[in-house]
Structure 1
Amino acid sequence: MYFILIKQFFRSKTVLLAFGILIILGILSIGTGKQYLNQKQAAIAKTKVQQEKHIETQTSLHNDDLGLLLYYLKFSFINPVNTLAGFSIGQSDLNSHIQNVTILNLEGQKYDTDLVNPMRLHVGNLDISFLIIFLFPLLIIALNFNILSEEIEKGTWKLVTIQGKSSFKYLLKKISIRVVFISIVLGLIFLVSKLMLGIPLNIGFLQIVIISYLYILFWFAICFFVILLRKSSNTNAIALLSSWLILVVFLPVFVNNYISNTYPVEEAFTMTIKQRDEYHKKWDTDKKETLDKFYAHYPQFSNYELQEEGFSWLWYYAMQQMGDDESKQEKDAMYAKIEKRELLSKKIAQFFPPLQMQLAMNEIANTSLTDQVNFLNATTQFHEDLRLQFYPKIFDEKPANSINWNNYKPQYFESNTNFNLIDNILYMSLITLFLIIFGIIKNVKYFR
């Protein structure tokens, strides 16, 4: 029986067409991931070389004045690209993974990013996560919507119920063939992507594989539930496509708008304006007032006195510091709202597998907004460490050649992913089981 059903399945032009489309899109998605990783890794390699050349050039030009030298010197802080980002690019194409910062006010430097074609950002990336979340469900719907209704409409289902030992087992065999077929195609995509993208066989990769297969089973459960309602093929198709539109297209947009309106981030604009405004105001503010605030922030530097006449690097860097200090409240408020947004989105996504799938893959691949915020916070600490190293040397008027600049290499951010697989698959598993069990219970009378 299985051999006949498999032969019948592969005779369908829909199957061959779907398989061909999936293979082509799979190759394109892997190519997209490869191109993304190559670009990021090339940028990191160039950054290492560029910082060395930059320091060498600037020290040769401003060797006599350390304060002026550090006005120009930039130091690189890198968020290394996880190879799993080739699966799920997420928001990492919008955010810079390399921060080149001076010891001047930081908030104005944090959000510089690469120039990217806006049309490309608008269209998005055809990465593997897009393929799995958006396109695999459509293929599953196309292969399953009429496996029962077509038999009933053609009148062959009565023959099955009369001749077969169990019509339910017959239906399960038809579905299982499709499950195995989709699983093999997905497995091939994972295998090729692992080899092409150079992804190690680690916990993160296995977590993506597990959650992807569970997501595929979820869509099979929806199809199983709908076809057991015993409606016509057209009704099944409309119901399943409507489910896809609601779950994959409409709900993410609705949830995004709801979260954005619940936690509007006006502070992003006010922080930028205040940081710039407060810095520029200091040119017309009494220098002693600026220094008093600086000493309150750094009491360890209170022994350095402001010279009354001429330009003072102590006052200048104190003024730069005030730009960050005066905008700190807005910055903290903005990050607090971003964190609330992420927490709310995760809570809502638990009950909607496509949303859950996207958030989970981004979190595993370190391409989520949370990861970017953590990187920016680490950049703040990196910047603070630089200031604490250089401020005493500037205020003591040390020569530039008193510092061993060879010690200043690009530093790397260490991401700590707290992804919990059980928490992320629990509700999806329960929804899948509910759909299967409820569909069976509603149709017990039809099967023997």
Structure 2
Amino acid sequence: MSALRFEWRLLSRSRWAMAALLLLLALSTVAVVSGLREVQRQQDTIARVAELQREELARQAPKLTRNGDAGTVGYYAFLGTWDEPTPAAFLALGLRDATPYVLRVRALALQTQLHEGETYNPELALAGRFDLAFVAVYLLPLFLIALLYDLVSSERQSGRLATLLALPGAGRALWLRRAGLRAGLAALCVLLPVLAGGVVSGMPVAALAAVMLALLAYIACWTGLALLVGLRGGSSVANATALMGGWALLTLVLPTLGGAVLSRAVPVQQGVDLMLAQRQAVHGAWDISREDTLARFYQSHPQWQHTAPLPAGFHWKWYYAFQQLGDERVAPQVAAYRAALLARQQATEGLGFALPGVGLQAVLHRVAGTDLLAQLAYQDAITAFHRRLRHQLYPYLFEERKFEAADFARLPRFEPPAPAVDIPLAPLAALAAVAALLLGLAARAAGRVARDRRC
């Protein structure tokens, strides 16, 4: 304990080291506060939209049910759905920045409604959000490099290394103690804001513990790598150059190349393509005879095949039949689209086994519920709600029953899935394994430096 206290006294005299730690603490705090404010803004938006939805439906009810026509209700009544942010969403906003978390749907073809929200300006999402995931993945390694790159070289260049190694307790323990103190202080600068944010947002203990472990493992990865480079005997400039090159390679170049390779290996069509395919199928139904359309509809919905034949002119049951057929027409494409997305997600997680930054992002986004799996779960909830809406309207459409105000009040209400704590054990274990490997190699390197300098 006295040796560690002595190391702290030495470190506290370094103005640049203390300034770096304070800056890291400030950046982490700003990132957490920014994430909490964004989550609160999204929650306020959801609450405001829900209130506007209730007011709109209350105004529409007398008008839409005046003639007792269920088709009119299904066409004009937009019903709200929403994706509540999880308590951990402030850590990594992920896809919530690029995909809608509030979506109003009606009883028409679904895929068009699901994917028309993807038509945003990509330049607006290019910079991303300043959240804790950004600070941890990209900025935290730079601070660790600044604190550790000259651990040995500064002592050698000042002429103190031989004297330092001659003191009692010098050797591997000395370098590990110094590195551990610096890395531990950097960890506190990141973990304390995360802990405070987790308490404020009400994060489950298991989720908070998983995030803490992931961050500690990532810090251990970069601490081990910085020690491996800093203890090999090079100058401070050479060490800093090598570590900055490693940072650029591990956080920028390799993830970008890996993403490009995955994009070519696992091609995924855009959701907009599904929207266009469904629109073509729906619009093409106007050129097909109404009887043929209903015959195809009755093949997948035989419970309505014995209803009254179509009268002359327009009829809502024919209109909703070809809307339903539009969904069924693109169902194979939707299944292939989702399968490709999941395959690419799995491949990306595999990339995270070798690249600690990708692995940390995978853990943070999964715990935060802002990754692809969370977005697909929201789409599944919308699909189930849309199915309930159709099933409630179809008896009125096909049996030509009158749709009254009481029926309007019984329209289904969206129920978002209950949030569950999902901890990605495989990426977390891989991150811990890489950290253990790098720390083990760094400990061996520390011992060799001590022996070489005593010869």
TM over 0.5: yes
Change (3 A) 1:136 1:8: same
Change (3 A) 1:399 1:369: same
The structural deviation recorded for 1:4 is: 3.2
| Contact map agreement 2:61 2:408 (CA 8 A) in 1 | no
Residue of structure 2 in register with 1:48 after alignment = 50
3-state SS of 1:190 partner:
helix
Code of the residue aligned with 1:51 in structure 2: it is Q
Corresponding position: 1:178 with 2:182 = yes
The structural deviation recorded for 1:395 is: 2.2
| Contact map agreement 1:33 1:127 (CA 8 A) in 2 | yes
3-state SS of 1:306 partner:
coil
| Contact map agreement 2:28 2:190 (CA 8 A) in 1 | no
Matching residue within 32, 35, 42 for 1:33? 35
* Identical-residue share of aligned pairs (%): 23
Corresponding position: 1:204 with 2:171 = no
Corresponding position: 1:99 with 2:103 = yes
3-state SS of 2:439 partner:
helix
The structural deviation recorded for 1:116 is: 7.0
Corresponding position: 1:159 with 2:167 = no
Runs (5+) with no aligned partner, structure 2: none
Code of the residue aligned with 2:416 in structure 1: it is Y
Corresponding position: 1:314 with 2:288 = no
CA RMSD of aligned residues (A): 2.1
Normalized against structure 2, the TM-score is what? 0.92
| Contact map agreement 2:32 2:194 (CA 8 A) in 1 | no
Change (3 A) 1:102 1:262: same
Change (3 A) 1:114 1:322: closer
Residue of structure 2 in register with 1:215 after alignment = 218
Matching residue within 35, 59, 62 for 2:61? 59
Tell me the distance in 2 between the aligned counterparts of 1:297 and 1:269. Answer: 26
Runs (5+) with no aligned partner, structure 1: none
Tell me the distance in 1 between the aligned counterparts of 2:333 and 2:113. Answer: 16
Code of the residue aligned with 2:40 in structure 1: it is N
3-state SS of 2:360 partner:
helix
Matching residue within 310, 333, 338 for 1:335? 338
Q: What does residue range 8-407 of structure 1 map to in structure 2 within 5 Å?
A: 8-63=10-65, 64=67, 65-113=69-117, 119-195=123-199, 197-266=200-269, 268-397=271-400, 398-403=402-407, 405=409
- Answer with 69-78 or 288-297: which moved more: 69-78
| Contact map agreement 1:267 1:333 (CA 8 A) in 2 | no
Aligned length: 446
Matching residue within 3, 6, 9 for 1:4? 6
Tell me the distance in 2 between the aligned counterparts of 1:174 and 1:25. Answer: 24
The structural deviation recorded for 1:81 is: 1.0
The structural deviation recorded for 1:295 is: 0.6
| Contact map agreement 1:51 1:409 (CA 8 A) in 2 | no
Code of the residue aligned with 1:204 in structure 2: it is A
| Contact map agreement 1:141 1:223 (CA 8 A) in 2 | yes
Change (3 A) 1:230 1:269: same
Which segments of structure 1 move beyond 4 Å, counting only runs of 4 or more? 114-120, 415-418
Tell me the distance in 1 between the aligned counterparts of 2:233 and 2:443. Answer: 12
Tell me the distance in 1 between the aligned counterparts of 2:198 and 2:381. Answer: 30
Deviation per residue, 1:166-218 (Å, 9 max, x gap): 322222221122122112212321233234x4233421122111111111111
Code of the residue aligned with 1:96 in structure 2: it is P
Code of the residue aligned with 1:400 in structure 2: it is E
Normalized against structure 1, the TM-score is what? 0.93
Code of the residue aligned with 2:42 in structure 1: it is K
Corresponding position: 1:427 with 2:442 = no
Deviation per residue, 1:232-265 (Å, 9 max, x gap): 1111111111111111111221111111111222
3-state SS of 1:177 partner:
helix
The structural deviation recorded for 1:270 is: 3.7
Change (3 A) 1:24 1:418: closer
| Contact map agreement 1:199 1:205 (CA 8 A) in 2 | no
3-state SS of 1:77 partner:
strand
| Contact map agreement 2:115 2:272 (CA 8 A) in 1 | no
Code of the residue aligned with 2:28 in structure 1: it is G
Tell me the distance in 2 between the aligned counterparts of 1:445 and 1:416. Answer: 48
Tell me the distance in 1 between the aligned counterparts of 2:154 and 2:187. Answer: 24
The structural deviation recorded for 1:273 is: 2.0
Code of the residue aligned with 1:314 in structure 2: it is K
The structural deviation recorded for 1:268 is: 3.4
- Answer with 46-55 or 348-357: which moved more: 46-55
- Answer with 142-151 or 18-27: which moved more: 18-27
Tell me the distance in 1 between the aligned counterparts of 2:184 and 2:282. Answer: 63
Tell me the distance in 1 between the aligned counterparts of 2:324 and 2:419. Answer: 27
| Contact map agreement 2:294 2:318 (CA 8 A) in 1 | yes
Code of the residue aligned with 2:223 in structure 1: it is F
Deviation per residue, 1:383-407 (Å, 9 max, x gap): 1121111111222232322415156
Tell me the distance in 1 between the aligned counterparts of 2:314 and 2:411. Answer: 30
| Contact map agreement 1:306 1:312 (CA 8 A) in 2 | no
- Answer with 262-271 or 342-351: which moved more: 262-271
Tell me the distance in 1 between the aligned counterparts of 2:150 and 2:412. Answer: 65
Code of the residue aligned with 1:190 in structure 2: it is V
The structural deviation recorded for 1:23 is: 3.0
Matching residue within 414, 419, 427 for 2:418? 414
